[in-house]
Amino acid sequence: MSDPLKTQNLGNHPDILPVGDVQFQKARDLRYGENPSQTAAMYASPQGTFLSTLKELKTGKQGPSQTNMEDMVYGAVTLGYFKAPSVVIMKHLNPSGFATQYAPEPLSATYRKAREGDFRAAFGGTVLFNMPVDLETADALNELFREVIVAPGFDEGVVDRFKGTVRVYEYDERQFSAIPRYANSERTPIIKQLPDGTLIRSNLLVTPIKNWQDLQKYAVGSRQFTADETGDLLKKNKDKTPDQIEATLRANRTPHDGEFRDLLTGYRIRLRSNSVRMVRNGYTVALGTGQQDRVMCVDIAEYKNRKLMELADKEERNRYFDYFVPGSVLVSDGFFPFPDSIELARKFGITAVLAPHGGDHFLDVVQAANESGIAFVDLPGDLRFFAHY
């Protein structure tokens, strides 16, 4: 009996798909949709896209599935924020690990940093690089099963080292760079169809934050709050005078340069909401993803980190780098509604946090950060970066 996960399920999808004024052309039929029972095809505009221009260097399992394609494009979104050599490992549209170089090192080391952050989830993942893959990195990739490998190039002999069903793709750097990431980018709105047939048209998520210096003006201790934000704080804290509110805000410690850099790295890593990222020295040490409440994201991230450490010790696994949560920064894609997440962050040894502004208890959250010595970067509320793929 054939394995449905390795077998094509082709549907009767048209060659042309009109969307507005654009005639989207079928780039390829996919192995199947989200599940083997669903058929799927991929379409692209006449100008081409990141996915439609991928060059397939090695195939397996009768081609890529819808999830493979989505992993590749969402991984590319994250990876494209970084100029330094970087690696992201995707699993079910979420990164399981990420690493970027703050100082020169072999690409194989950067890959292992990303992989070992969650070596269980990295099994069978999609690995993307923003630099050509060399032979040493190919050997590191062969240490753990992976479904897909994507890079802008591969040194001579690298692809031949990959055996089995792994699929290998080379991407077009122009199409990679053309994926909208920053404000003022030219971008096509997203059209999403709901199960009842309703269509929602929305703008793509982009950011004005381009470097860690852009974050400095949002450090709570020196942040210039707008008149609306100040009025909201006064309204929600009627038991406090304006001077008391100001004193609480100004008492917060400003992150040092290393913390700002890690906060920016965490901010750029796209996860399904609610989500948090714990980052230190350019790589993820823990991730909490897709929860209905924010405090559980923090708790799960630390829990998974602890369990992975226990498993690595049991298996005598060489993780090459340390993944201790204490000393890390924490980045949240939404505001903290209560101080409980900050209290957990203090318990876990987090030194700095970043979150969008909001909530009725913002001042209590800042006060909890002050008492913990945790630096707080408070983005404007409209820079919330939820993602619900």
pLDDT in the model for residue 3: 72
Residues 170 and 222 in one domain: no
Residues 78 and 222 in one domain: no
Quickly count: other Cβ atoms within 10 Å of residue 179's Cβ. 16
> How is 131-173 classified by DSSP, letter by letter?
S-B-HHHHHHHTTS-EEEEEES-B-TTSGGG--TT-EEEE--H
- Overall average pLDDT of the 330-353 stretch: 97
The pLDDT-based confidence of 387 (bands split at 50, 70, 90) is: confident
pLDDT over 70 at 2, yes or no: no
Bridge-based pairing of strands 283-289 and 275-280 is antiparallel
Name, in order, each residue with C-beta under 8 angstroms of 324's C-beta and a sequence gap of 6 or more. Answer: 280, 285, 349
Burial annotation 118-147 (CB, 10 A radius, 16+ → b, else e): bbebbeebbbbbbbebbeebbebbeebebb
Range of the domain at 37: 4-178
Identity of the residue numbered 199:
L
- Overall average pLDDT of the 339-350 stretch: 97
pLDDT in tens, 257-313: 999 999 999 999 999 999 999 999 999 999 999 899 999 999 999 999 999 999 999
Residues 235 and 356 in one domain: yes
pLDDT in the model for residue 25: 95
- What's 117's domain CATH number? 3.40.140.20
Q: Provide the number of structural domains found in the chain.
A: 2
Identity of the residue numbered 42:
M
pLDDT in tens, 113-165: 999 999 999 999 999 999 999 999 999 999 999 999 999 999 999 999 999 99
Does 186 reside within a domain?
A: no
pLDDT in the model for residue 1: 53
pLDDT over 90 at 20, yes or no: no
pTM for the whole structure:
0.95
Residues 133 and 250 in one domain: no
Name the average pLDDT for the chain. Answer: 94
